[in-house]
Amino acid sequence: MHPAQTTARSADHRWGEYHDDVVSLHWRLILAPKRIQDYVLAHELAHAKYGDHSESFWNTVGTLIPDYQDRRESVVLMPQAFLCERDVSR
């Protein structure tokens, strides 16, 4: 849960990505509401522990963002990008 660095990027269609201890966030996330920014960050940090979207993964997200399900729906409705390639909802 301690990424070595956080980077901003625009080269792909993901809001966020976790890979090799680096959380990458889409630059458009700056324009999103803070509650969405927090959710995306918590989602990617949870991938530091779990590489999938298992129940344990969502439990970890839930400890960081108790109302993550509401926020997750908001992210899914945002057309510009999707959360991560592993997100089975898209």
- Contact residues toward Zn ion (CB under 5 A) are 84, 86-87
Residue whose CB is less far from Zn ion, 7 or 54: 54
* Nearest approach, Cβ of residue 56 and Zn ion (Å): 13
Q: Which two tokens stand for residue 80?
A: 């510009």
* Nearest approach, Cβ of residue 46 and Zn ion (Å): 8
Nearest CA-CA partner of 70 in 35, 30, 31: 35
Residue whose CB is less far from Zn ion, 7 or 60: 60
